[in-house]
A = this chain, B = another copy of it.
Amino acid sequence: MPRLYVLVLSGGAGTRLWPLSRRDRPKQFLELLGEGSLLQDTVDRVSEFVPSERIFVVAPPEHRALIHEQLPDLRADHLVVEPYPRGNAAAIALAMAALAAFDPDAVVAVLPSDHVVGNRAQFRKVLIAATAAAERGHLVTLGITPERADTGFGYIEAGEKLDLDSPIEVRTVKRFVEKPKKDAAERMVAAGGHYWNAGMFVWRVEEILRAYERHLPRTAKAIEALRDAIGSPRYESVLAEVWEETDHTTVDYGIAEKAENVAVVPADIGWQDVGSWGRLAEIVSKADNWASGDLVAEGAHGNYIWAPGKTVALIGVEELIVVDTPDALLVTTKERSEAVKTIVDRLKREGGEDLL
């Protein structure tokens, strides 16, 4: 794929996997599946066809060292630092400016760093199709084939087929649907032609910058002011100045839902969102009980135990999730694991900040 660049999004606090994920080590840095971190896996899965000099990462300053540690091949000037979180629209615009300075003709795949993709070969085919559409001027989203009527994702309704010579059909987008109610989700899944919005995009840098100008002009203006400073000593101070002028929104709300030239590639790529311990347990739990190490179980079923370096003994327990870290121990059920959010909120309020 000539000229395909990758921008990896590494923002986000990821407290939903507390107590393993922490402010200084959100989930993308964790080795959750035992084969490198999610971030490393994200880069690894494109590295067969995207050389390292065409990989960019955008992240907050506090994770700079960790990113270089985990991605030693990443070029120092390809790590774009967002001064503080403003939603991913600003972060992506900032990275697009860096990319445009590097290669104004770039086509770029924007990929979150905390997803699981099971089918790499298909993922590559999807990127080829998306690149073909992006080169024709489309802002392309990857639409995940829905496995169930999940109400935790936004949906994309596909429209007309584009006339492209690509291995997978690409379609126009009829509409974006925000996280639906259960019955609406069921109708969309039953109808077909609807996909989960996983926040993965492919577009020409030129095209997305034009879209910013149209739909998020404040952000476009702020970033425009920065472009001349890229590579110069003024960069940091100009960035500090313009950053607060950017729109505080996401690229989905701010651009994708408004633009006319959005397209979708159906992506049947074994995609998984590691959004909670319960989801992670589903992803890895092929066995009846899953433990990070040695396991001895008696009358125990469906448990997921994260306790690295320890032998785990289970007796008479079912559907539990236990996460053991050096300073905190979480004990919950698969059903209730999303309530970790409540625990994190309470720790914030009740003086447990050092555990976050």
Which residues of A are at the interface with B, using a C-beta cutoff of 8 A? 18-19, 294, 296, 298-300, 303, 305, 307, 309-317, 320, 322, 324-333, 335-337, 339-340, 342-343, 346-347, 350, 352, 355
Contact = CB atoms under 8 A, between A and B. Distances in A.
Tell me which of A299, A313, A324, A339 has the highest count of chain B C-beta atoms within 10 A of its own C-beta.
Answer: A313
B309 A327 contact: yes
Nearest to A322: B331
Contact of A310 (B310, B312, B327, B336): B327
Contact of A342 (B315, B325, B352): B315
Nearest to A354: B311
Nearest to A303: B331
Contacts of A324: 307, 324, 329
Contacts of A315: 330-333, 336-337, 339-340, 342-343
Chain A interface, >50% SS class: mixed
Contact of A339 (B18, B316, B322): B316
Nearest to A307: B329
Nearest to A343: B313
Contacts of A307: 324, 329
Given A328-B310, A329-B324, A298 B355 contact: no
27 contacts: A18-B313, A294-B352, A296-B343, A296-B350, A296-B352, A298-B336, A298-B343, A299-B336, A303-B331, A305-B331, A310-B329, A311-B329, A311-B352, A312-B331, A313-B329, A313-B330, A313-B331, A313-B343, A314-B332, A315-B333, A315-B336, A315-B337, A315-B340, A315-B342, A316-B339, A317-B320, A317-B331
Tell me which of A324, A335, A350 has the highest count of chain B C-beta atoms within 10 A of its own C-beta.
Answer: A324
A281 to B, nearest CB: 14
A107 B345 CA distance: 61
B311 A328 contact: yes
A332 B336 CA distance: 18
